[in-house]
Amino acid sequence: MENGSNKKREQFARDGFYIFENILDSLLLDRLRHFSDDVLARQEPAHFERQRTTGSMVLIDWAMAYQHPVMAELIAHPGVLTALQQLGFDDPKFGHGRIISKPPHSPPLFWHEDGRFWDDPISYTTQPIQCFLMYYLTDTTPQNGCLRVIPKSHLKRHVLHDRIAPNHTDELRTFANPDDPGFSRVEEEIDVPVQAGDLVMGYGSLLHASHANQTDRQRTVLTMWYYPDFVALPERTQATVALAEANTSDAASASAKLQALMEPLQIAYDGEAEPIAIQWTPGEELK
């Protein structure tokens, strides 16, 4: 890696996240807004009732990418792949994503981390297993629900690790108890406001949340989960990831061009290593 890339990788590994500016152009942003608005409009009211704090949690899977080229274009976007390369990740793999849209005047998102490989020793190192790539489709501020993070919490235990629920419980999703520690403010947190088209990349194990949306407009983010350095992971980790992200979608219905675009990003493991059990709670190794 060049010196500038080395510094980006060092900052990413140290803080647990990195912001790349102006990754998506206005035309693609408009197409993504139209697509996500259409998908959200087709959800049942119960979906949003169950997701008061997230807003929505619509799955973006390989089937959606094969069916809707705009999603495939985002997943395999050259600017995104270049950003990953700048962190030293030359052969990333895509798992899945979510359309997460906070409606107007909705509550904050609770503190959580999405690490699910805590029984794997790799989770306690700077070698990332899983990373989130977030694309906000509007400019974000603390007023409309921008991201909040606790830097370094992917490698260092924080008091919240022992106070928050390890999973997205119904109580948290529905904001049943606003006094839950998951909705607390902590001294170490920082706001991460971004412009539409920026990319926020972070370790899956980084503690993060979002402010409430106090405005009259919805705030949508597309959160995509990648395995940025899959081929460098130990075999047991690869086996675990391949099992967790099993892709059963049939690409035959997609165009040859679309298949060629997506094929390099597919997770593939054909070894015989035994997968490691999924574990959502950090162990004592996180100090």
Q: How far apart are CA 54 and CA 110, in angstroms?
A: 8
- The verdict on residue 277 lying in a domain is no
Q: pLDDT tens digits, residue range 41-54?
A: 999 999 999 999 99
- The verdict on residue 272 lying in a domain is no
pTM value is 0.95
Ramachandran region, residue 22 (left: φ > 0; alpha: ψ -120 to 50; beta: rest): left
Q: pLDDT tens digits, residue range 124-161?
A: 999 999 999 999 999 999 999 999 999 999 999 999 99
Q: What is the count of structural domains for the chain?
A: 1
- The verdict on residue 271 lying in a domain is no
Token couple for 22 = 């102006």
What is the rounded (10 degree) CA torsion for 155, 125, 11, 199?
A: -90
Average pLDDT for the chain: 96
pLDDT grade for 2, boundaries at 50, 70 and 90: low
The whole-number average pLDDT for the span 97-103 is 98
- The verdict on residue 284 lying in a domain is no
Ramachandran region, residue 193 (left: φ > 0; alpha: ψ -120 to 50; beta: rest): beta
3-state SS, residue 191? strand
**Sign of the CA dihedral running 52, 206, 224, 63:** negative
Q: How far apart are CA 269 and CA 243, in angstroms?
A: 9
Residue 175's alpha-carbon distances to 51, 206, 211, 265, in angstroms, are: 9, 22, 13, 36
Q: pLDDT tens digits, residue range 109-128?
A: 999 999 999 999 999 999 99
- The verdict on residue 162 lying in a domain is yes
Ramachandran region, residue 152 (left: φ > 0; alpha: ψ -120 to 50; beta: rest): left
- The verdict on residue 278 lying in a domain is no
pLDDT at 231: 95
- Nearest Cα neighbor of 97 from 276, 221, 185, 182 is 221
Q: pLDDT tens digits, residue range 199-245?
A: 999 999 999 999 999 999 999 999 999 999 999 999 999 999 999 99
- The verdict on residue 287 lying in a domain is no
Q: How far apart are CA 153 and CA 203, in angstroms?
A: 10
- The verdict on residue 273 lying in a domain is no
**Sign of the CA dihedral running 174, 149, 147, 247:** negative
The whole-number average pLDDT for the span 23-31 is 98
3-state SS, residue 90? coil
Q: How many CB atoms lie within 10 A of CB 270?
A: 7
pLDDT at 108: 98
Token couple for 106 = 């909705």
pLDDT grade for 253, boundaries at 50, 70 and 90: confident
**Which CATH number belongs to the domain containing residue 136 in this structure?**
2.60.120.620
What is the residue range of 55's domain? Answer: 3-265
pLDDT grade for 1, boundaries at 50, 70 and 90: low
| Amino acid residing at 183 | F
The arrangement of strands across the sheet holding 199-203 comes to 17-20, 199-203, 131-136, 219-227, 93-102, 58-60
pLDDT at 152: 98
